[in-house]
Structure formats: structure tokens, C-alpha cells
Homo-oligomer: A and B are copies of this chain.
Amino acid sequence: MLIVQKYGGSSVADGSRIRNVAGIIAENYSCGHDMVVVLSAQGDTTDELLEKAAELNPSPSRRELDMLLATGEQQSIALMAMCLESMGLPAVSLTGWQAGVRTNAEYGVARIRRVDTERLRRELDKKRIVLVAGFQGVNKFDDYTTLGRGGSDTTAVALAAALHADRCQIFTDVEGVYTADPRKVPGARKLDEITYDEMLELASMGAQVLMNRSVQMAKRYGVELEVLSSLVRAPGTKVKEVTRTMEEMKITGIAKDENVARLTVAGVADKPGVAFRLLNTVAKAGVDVDMIIQANGREDTNDISFVVAQDHAAMAYDALMARQSAIGFDHISVDRDIAKVSVVGAGMMSSSSIAAVVFEAFNDEHINIQMINTSEIKISCVIDAASADRAVKAIHRKFFEV
């Protein structure tokens, strides 16, 4: 069996954690499995590097930032290889470049174009444990790129797809996907299974177990994922196309996302094409937009509000201000003091009463809903940040603690 595993930064944070992970890898390898292991940078390495960079340049070019950040994962794979070697196991570490991870040229948020598996296959044929630096690749200029947040998960899924792996296991510091954040909601339950679509909604809603792009890629290539803990030996949560429990459970989980900001562009001319130009400008800056609301402003103008990831708010703001006269608007206000609470479940499709229960929970707690967005399997509400935890607990009680 060919197994692709991924271990996050906290799973390899120090020597003893690395030894622990090496133990899991060794166990699988000794069962005769072919092992490809994707690693993130150790613990706080990435933050430390960002700090060093910020000291020299508050807004460094993304190319150079990627050059800097790519070193974190490279250190992890080398250290893990050494640890496995010390256990008498054959291991070889490969950077994104060496592992054939080819990306587009969007530094910092690069997307994987293809994986040239020749070298990987060759190393597997030699029965070596192959350690691959996650989060990174090279573009057509042979320059280092990084894949952005959760990039190592994406690397793992891409490798699993390209190698037709039998399993793709994402090891993290939680035991799986829960109905809500177990640190905040004591009654939260671990799910045995979840569909790609549910996971996608949860991931994009701030349940930081798996990032969206990796789940999208897994869905697209039919890579069944398993999310599990590197510290507790227990089955995790399987992420797949169809789950057995879909019909039974109406909702799967509740997520809170505090990494959001609302930009309100005031005084936008009420003419065709203006909203498109505005949102296109934001999209071209590489910022994903979520929940758009248009409201009448003063004198034939509109106010357009939208939600973006908080760490992209400045980018969106800068991109819009740079084209202020071309787009035509008055000013932009940014509100970072909000949170998005989302209720997700594939079972929602067959039940219309979910929304009513969700709104009742908000009402019980006297929480004002600022924006609402729904899809077939999700309801999201933007509320003030201070009420978010209370909202999640209230909804969880309604659905899971009855």
C-alpha cells in the first residue's frame, strides 16, 4: 500500500516530537507500506522568519519572502530524515523542487500545476521513506514559491493524487473534525466521517483542521483523506465523497472564523459594470471575497460591503485605493471586529427548518446578525466578534446537546 502522510508544524516542533512522528512512520514502513511523508516547518519557524523579514522590510517582495520561508520545511525534512536514519531506516528528503512540485508564479499563494513524480517513484522503488517539504514548489522560472496557508495539506493531497496513493493521512494536533471547536464547546463530538463539501464549508468557515484548497483538490481527484492526531493513537475523521451518516445527521458542525474583516466601499456610482470592476480589482489582487452586500447610499450611489480574510484586508484596501478614480467611489471603511459563525451539514439540503433553529439560537442570545449567507449545505452569519463563542455554544446546544 502506498501511504501519503502529512505532519503539521506542531507535530515536528522539537526533537521529541520529531522522534514521535518518526515512530509512526517507522510503524507503517515496517508493515511493508511505501511511505511518502510531507512535513511543515517546525513550530514557530515561519513566524520567526517573518519577524526577521519585517525587521528589514515591512513589505518585502513575495518572491523573496517565499525564498526565505521555503527554508523552514527544508529543515524539517532533513531533520526527520536524520532521525529515521538513526533508527536504521532508509530515508531521503526532497524539497518541493526535487519532488517535482511545479506551481504557477503567484508567490505566496502559488497553485500546484503538476507533480513530476519521476524522482518520487525512483526513491520509492529503492524502498526509501520519502520526506517531502510541504508548502513549496518551483515555478516555470525555477524560482521557489509557497502555497499559502495550509499549503502542506495541499502538497500531501497533490502527491497522493499524482502517485495514486491508497491513503492520504493528515496528522495534526487535534484528533479529527469535531461538531464544534472542542476547546470552546465542551459538548463537541468527533465525527467519524464527513463529506468533502461539508469539510469545505467548515474549512472556509474557520475550522482550521484542513484548508479549503487541499479539500477541493482531494474532492477533484477523489483522494480520500483521514484527519488524525500525531499524539493520540486513535482513528480520526475520514473525509470522502459520500458518508454513511449523511442522511441521519442534519448538521455536521459549527465553525467560527475570526480571521475576517468587512470592507465597505462607500459612494459607488450606481452604474452597470462598476460593481464588477470593483470586485475584479479585489480578485486580481489575489483576495477571495465572501458575502457581498449592496445597499443604497447617498445620491445615486451604492455602498458595497464584502467580507475577506482579515490578513488580506490591507491588500484588498490597497488594490482598491490604487484604482479609486478608475472604479469611482468615495471612501472605504474596514471593520476587523467581526466574526463569522457557520452551520454546516449535507443533511441541510433535505430540511428547511435548520435556518429557523439557527436564527432562534441567535435570538435567544440577543445577538445581532449583520450579514447572512447560505448555500445548500451551509448557513453563515457575520456577527460582532465578542459574541462569537456564545453563538457557537448556543447553536451547538440546539443541535447536538438535546
Q: Which residues from chain A sit less than 8 Å from chain B, CB to CB?
A: 15, 18-19, 49, 52-53, 55-58, 60-61, 63-65, 67-68, 70-71, 74-75, 77-79, 81-83, 85-86, 91-93, 95, 97-98, 119, 142-144
Given contacts A15-B56, A68-B82, 9 further A-B contacts (CB under 8 A): A15-B52, A56-B83, A58-B86, A60-B86, A63-B92, A64-B81, A64-B82, A68-B78, A97-B142
Query: When the two chains form the complex, which single residue of B15, B68, B78, B119 contacts A79, counting CB atoms closer than 8 Å?
Result: B68
Determine how close the nearest CB of chain B comes to the CB of A46; give it in whole angstroms. Answer: 12
Instruction: Please give me the residue from chain B that is nearest to A58 by CB atom.
Output: B86
Determine how many copies of this chain the complex contains: 2
Q: B67 and A86: CB pair below 8 A?
A: no
Q: B86 and A78: CB pair below 8 A?
A: no
Q: B18 and A56: CB pair below 8 A?
A: yes
Known contacts A56-B83, A57-B83; is-contact A65 B49 (Cβ 8 Å): no
Q: A67 and B77: CB pair below 8 A?
A: yes
A142 to B94 Cα, complex, angstroms: 10
Determine how close the nearest CB of chain B comes to the CB of A20; give it in whole angstroms. Answer: 12
Q: B82 and A71: CB pair below 8 A?
A: no
A57 to B15 Cα, complex, angstroms: 10
Q: B82 and A57: CB pair below 8 A?
A: yes
Q: A64 and B85: CB pair below 8 A?
A: yes
Q: A70 and B64: CB pair below 8 A?
A: no
Main secondary structure of the interface of A (DSSP, over half): helix
Determine how close the nearest CB of chain B comes to the CB of A9; give it in whole angstroms. Answer: 15
Q: A75 and B82: CB pair below 8 A?
A: no
A81 to B64 Cα, complex, angstroms: 7
Known contacts A57-B83, A82-B60, A83-B57; is-contact A67 B52 (Cβ 8 Å): no
Q: A56 and B86: CB pair below 8 A?
A: yes
Q: A93 and B74: CB pair below 8 A?
A: no
Q: A79 and B98: CB pair below 8 A?
A: no
User: Across the interface, which residues of B come within 8 angstroms of A82, CB to CB?
Assistant: 53, 56-57, 60-61, 64-65, 68
Determine how close the nearest CB of chain B comes to the CB of A85; give it in whole angstroms. Answer: 6
Q: B78 and A67: CB pair below 8 A?
A: yes
Known contacts A19-B56, A98-B142, A98-B143; is-contact A74 B79 (Cβ 8 Å): no
Query: When the two chains form the complex, which single residue of B64, B79, B95, B119 contacts A56, counting CB atoms closer than 8 Å?
Result: B79
Q: A68 and B64: CB pair below 8 A?
A: no
Q: B64 and A78: CB pair below 8 A?
A: yes
User: Across the interface, which residues of B come within 8 angstroms of A92, CB to CB?
Assistant: 63
Known contacts A15-B52, A18-B56, A60-B82; is-contact A71 B75 (Cβ 8 Å): yes
Known contacts A52-B15, A57-B86; is-contact A93 B67 (Cβ 8 Å): yes
A44 to B284 Cα, complex, angstroms: 41
| Most B CB within 10 A of own CB, among A56, A68, A92 | A56
Instruction: Please give me the residue from chain B that is nearest to A18 by CB atom.
Output: B56
User: Across the interface, which residues of B come within 8 angstroms of A77, CB to CB?
Assistant: 67
Determine how close the nearest CB of chain B comes to the CB of A74; give it in whole angstroms. Answer: 5
User: Across the interface, which residues of B come within 8 angstroms of A68, CB to CB?
Assistant: 74-75, 78-79, 82
Q: Can you report 14 residue pairs joining A to B where beta carbons are below 8 Å apart?
A: A15-B52, A15-B56, A56-B86, A57-B83, A64-B78, A64-B82, A64-B85, A64-B93, A67-B78, A67-B95, A68-B74, A95-B144, A97-B142, A98-B142
Determine how close the nearest CB of chain B comes to the CB of A54; give it in whole angstroms. Answer: 9
User: Across the interface, which residues of B come within 8 angstroms of A55, CB to CB?
Assistant: 15
